[in-house]
Amino acid sequence: MIDIVTNETTTEADAGHGISFGEAFRVWLRVALLSFGGPAGQIAVMHRILVEEKNWISESRFLHALNYCMLLPGPEAQQLATYIGWLLHRTAGGIMAGCLFILPGVICIMALSYIYAAFGNVGFIEALFFGLKAAVLAIVIQAVVRVGKRALRNRIMIALAAIAFIAIFFFSVPFPVIIISAGVIGYFGARSGRPEFAAVPHGGGKNAALARLDEAAKGVAVTGATHGDQFRFALLKMHSWCTHRV
């Protein structure tokens, strides 16, 4: 069994997935520069680049990680990037992916703040943002459709998604209530043996490196990660969340 999480300075050779830290840096920078449209657009960009183009992580593992990050407080898109970066290159990879993810936004906000402080209301900037509204809306819709086609595998899941949308949009049901209710329904659906709730294997298909990376994501039983490893990853997630909040 391949173990890619045995030390803090895991290299591509040690990890066995063949993805260098430099290559990961370039890809995460590309993800950050292309991530428009809020969490939906950012998640869709990560899916397209990491799953479809680079084949670094399987479809089912990506969706599994997304569900996990949705349960955590803070920005799920950045948490997803941090988690996958951690899988690839441990703590250094997680910090790199998380920081690069917010870097373009920080630079843009600083530039816009400077323009506003120096010149006040600028008609050109206001017109630019007005024109971007339609483009961003199109990005969000495309992202929702793209991810939804893969996550909603049957009619029951589509129905649950529709009910959740109605509950939060029309009746202002708190988000935690919706998440907990969906989790309870999924739990009892799986316990009852319904095929619609069956778990999807996280296999890596024909890509051996992808298969090893998926094995590494399965947890302590497979990778041999210690409780200290898990605690450090939890601290990394907290650092990511605090950075975003600041």
pLDDT score at 206: 45
Average pLDDT, the chain: 78
- pTM of the predicted structure, to 2 decimals: 0.72
CA pair distance 174, 38, nearest whole angstrom: 20
Which tops the pLDDT comparison, 78 or 118?
78
Which tops the pLDDT comparison, 90 or 201?
90
pLDDT tens figures, 168-191: 999 999 988 998 999 899 899 988
Average pLDDT over residues 213-239: 53
Which tops the pLDDT comparison, 207 or 194?
194
The confidence band for 79, taking pLDDT boundaries of 50, 70 and 90, is very high
pLDDT tens figures, 9-67: 455 444 567 889 999 999 999 999 988 778 888 998 999 999 989 988 888 889 888 98
Which tops the pLDDT comparison, 200 or 197?
197
Percent of the chain with pLDDT over 90: 28
For residue 236, pLDDT beyond 70:
no
pLDDT score at 235: 61
pLDDT tens figures, 111-139: 888 888 887 777 777 787 787 777 888 88
pLDDT score at 219: 47
CA pair distance 226, 246, nearest whole angstrom: 31
pLDDT score at 210: 57
